[in-house]
């Protein structure tokens, strides 16, 4: 494509764009020049930290207007610079759905959230209602219109954020990892929606860490690497002629496994030493697994509703988890997966006599006691970051467990374990960076590694591979495998069981609140 010709009919233009999150820092995007024509559907993909999400946030004007940083070069959306135009001018030209839907949900109820944008454009009441109705229907949330956003599952909140952007009816739509938290049915519906929007003449940009079904459906593919454009061309042609290069860039699997979308090769053993006993007795957990007759966790006839008048989110759930076992918890959006995990962790109060932890009624245990044995990794890693740097995030758990006073040094073996983990998750060179400056995939790996710095009896990870590239998903699987080998139990909530193919585990499936064994 000749750039000059493309610029004549460009919805989005970048000319020599470089962006740094901190002055003098390494560029997240470096000297990028490209154009996306009006009515074009383009997929931007790349491994974690490649710069793809940064470009999406530059398109929206969030960077550098609100998120800070330093931008150089020319960036135009329909002829306007989104960093300098008014918010009203920007939102009428481009809508973006961020990786973390909670970052853009501002209202209490679903319909209020979707109506927020049109109301601020001063549309009349009838027009606002029409847009809300159409947008919720498009994402299959019409029945949840009066509900609280906070009562929705992660996937349903993601669909709410999509509906809120659709209701603004912008000519350009940018979706950053839009199906990361969606079940298979919702992903298919969203792909059909993209095809419909493209057919209506909208300009569509999807951003993902892998060549997923959305990326492969887009007619044009842009692959990022190290903040630069590595490949740009027709998707079909690149898949035909550049498969080896795409695999090297981490966005496509090579070989026999490539025939199974999403399948991952089993990651090799990671160079992680067993946790020192001074942190936590992992070896004791292994002995417990070998000798104990009682289960680590048992659920008996568990039903749960968020209010007395509300519907039951979980119905008659029964399951058992032994020490050192690995389970996947699967099911459609809204099936009750996250609710169940929060009951296990004590973040929600379970009915008495339904959840038993090491033979004790969990309803009578304090959250603090459960947290000493159970590590929980949230669906959005930003929700649990507590430190100013990547390294301190890893060291926070050991500092807390050892009850060190401010300034008191950590044992050397703890420092060494943190250094090993940084190397394994690919963040050895980012130790002094803020966790919030990491890419989405890097944040997920950091949150999992931080949870595993202090060995627990059970780890619960909520959608840890959502939006991750293939390398990141493989590293996450290997971290979990190492924890299981050390004697811990692992429960992973996921819509991507294929990411753990070949692992020694079994699957629990929830269907509308009921456990299917």
Q: Are 61 and 82 in contact (CB under 8 A)?
A: yes
pLDDT > 50? residue 322? yes
pLDDT tens per residue, range 347-402 = 999 999 999 999 999 999 999 999 999 999 998 898 899 999 999 999 999 999 99
Second-level CATH architecture of 282-516: 3-Layer(aba) Sandwich (3.40)
User: The tokens of 497 are what?
Assistant: 């069981």
Work out the pLDDT band at 275, boundaries 50, 70, 90. Answer: very low
Burial code (b: 16+ CB inside 10 Å, e: under 16) for 34-57 equals bbbbebbbbbbbbbbbbbbbbbbb
Work out whether the CA dihedral 455, 458, 462, 465 comes out positive or negative.
positive
Q: Are 300 and 262 in contact (CB under 8 A)?
A: no
- Residue 121's SS3 state is coil
Work out the pLDDT band at 407, boundaries 50, 70, 90. Answer: confident
Backbone angles phi, psi at 201, to 5 degrees: 100, 5
Cis omega (within 30 of 0) for bond into 136: no
pLDDT tens per residue, range 335-356 = 999 999 999 999 999 999 999 9
- The residues, ordered by sequence, that sit 6+ positions from 441 with a Cβ below 8 Å of its Cβ are 47, 48, 49, 209, 467, 468, 469, 472
- Which H or E run contains 339? helix 337-345
Query: Are both 1-93+205-252 and 282-516 of the same fold?
Result: yes
Count of other CB atoms within 10 angstroms of residue 360: 12
- The residues, ordered by sequence, that sit 6+ positions from 410 with a Cβ below 8 Å of its Cβ are 395, 398, 399, 402, 404
Return the CA Rg of the chain.
Answer: 23
pLDDT > 80? residue 272? no
Give the span between the Cα atoms of 317 and 180, in whole angstroms: 27
CATH of domain 1-93+205-252: 3.40.50.300
pLDDT tens per residue, range 433-468 = 999 989 999 999 999 999 999 989 999 999 999 989
> Where do the domains of the chain lie?
1-93+205-252, 282-516
Residue 8: exposure state from Cβ atoms within 10 A (0-12, 13-18, ≥19)? exposed
Give the span between the Cα atoms of 157 and 100, in whole angstroms: 9
């Amino acid at each position: 494509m000749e750039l000059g010709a493309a610029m004549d009919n460009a919805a989005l233009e970048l000319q020599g764009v470089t962006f740094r999150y901190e002055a003098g820092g390494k560029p997240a995007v470096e000297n990028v020049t490209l154009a996306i024509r009006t009515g074009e559907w383009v997929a931007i993909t790349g491994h974690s930290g490649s710069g793809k999400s940064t470009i999406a946030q530059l398109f929206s004007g969030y960077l550098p207007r609100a998120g800070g940083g330093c931008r150089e070069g020319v960036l135009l959306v329909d002829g306007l610079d989104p960093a300098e135009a008014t918010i009203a001018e920007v939102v009428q030209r481009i809508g973006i759905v961020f990786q973390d839907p909670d970052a853009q949900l501002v209202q209490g109820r679903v319909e209020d959230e979707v109506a927020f944008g049109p109301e601020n454009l001063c549309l009349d009441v009838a027009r606002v209602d029409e847009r809300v109705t159409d947008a919720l229907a498009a994402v299959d949330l019409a029945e949840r219109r009066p509900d609280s956003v906070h009562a929705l599952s992660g996937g349903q909140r993601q669909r709410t954020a999509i509906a809120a952007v659709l209701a603004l009816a912008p000519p350009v739509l940018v979706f950053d990892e839009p199906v990361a938290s969606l079940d298979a049915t919702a992903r298919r519906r969203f792909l059909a929606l993209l095809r419909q929007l493209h057919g209506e003449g909208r300009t569509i940009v999807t951003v993902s860490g892998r060549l997923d079904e959305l990326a492969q459906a887009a007619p044009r593919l842009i692959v990022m690497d190290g903040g630069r454009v590595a490949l740009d061309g027709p998707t079909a042609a690149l898949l035909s002629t550049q498969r080896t290069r795409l695999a090297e860039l981490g966005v496509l699997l090579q070989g026999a496994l490539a025939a199974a979308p999403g399948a991952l090769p089993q990651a090799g053993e990671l160079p992680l030493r067993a946790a020192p006993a001074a942190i936590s007795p992992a070896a004791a957990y292994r002995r417990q697994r070998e000798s104990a007759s009682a289960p680590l966790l048992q659920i008996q006839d568990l039903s749960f509703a968020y209010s007395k008048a509300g519907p039951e989110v979980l119905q008659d759930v029964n399951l058992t988890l032994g020490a050192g076992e690995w389970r996947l918890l699967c099911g459609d959006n809204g099936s009750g997966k996250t609710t169940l995990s929060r009951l296990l962790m004590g973040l929600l109060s379970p009915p008495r006599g339904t959840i038993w932890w090491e033979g004790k009624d969990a309803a009578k245990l304090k959250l603090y006691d459960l947290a000493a044995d159970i590590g929980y990794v949230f669906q959005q890693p930003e929700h649990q970051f507590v430190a100013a740097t990547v390294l301190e995030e890893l060291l926070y758990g050991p500092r807390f467990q050892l009850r060190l006073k401010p300034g008191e040094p950590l044992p050397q073996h703890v420092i060494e374990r943190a250094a090993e983990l940084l190397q394994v998750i690919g963040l050895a060179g980012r130790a002094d960076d803020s966790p919030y400056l990491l890419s989405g995939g890097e944040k997920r790996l950091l949150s999992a590694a931080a949870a595993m710095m202090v060995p627990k009896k059970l780890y619960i990870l909520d959608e840890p591979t959502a939006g991750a590239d293939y390398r990141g998903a493989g590293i996450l699987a290997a971290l979990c495998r190492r924890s299981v080998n050390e004697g811990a139990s692992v429960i992973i909530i996921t819509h991507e069981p294929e990411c753990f193919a070949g692992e020694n585990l079994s699957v629990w499936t929830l269907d509308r609140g009921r456990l299917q064994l």
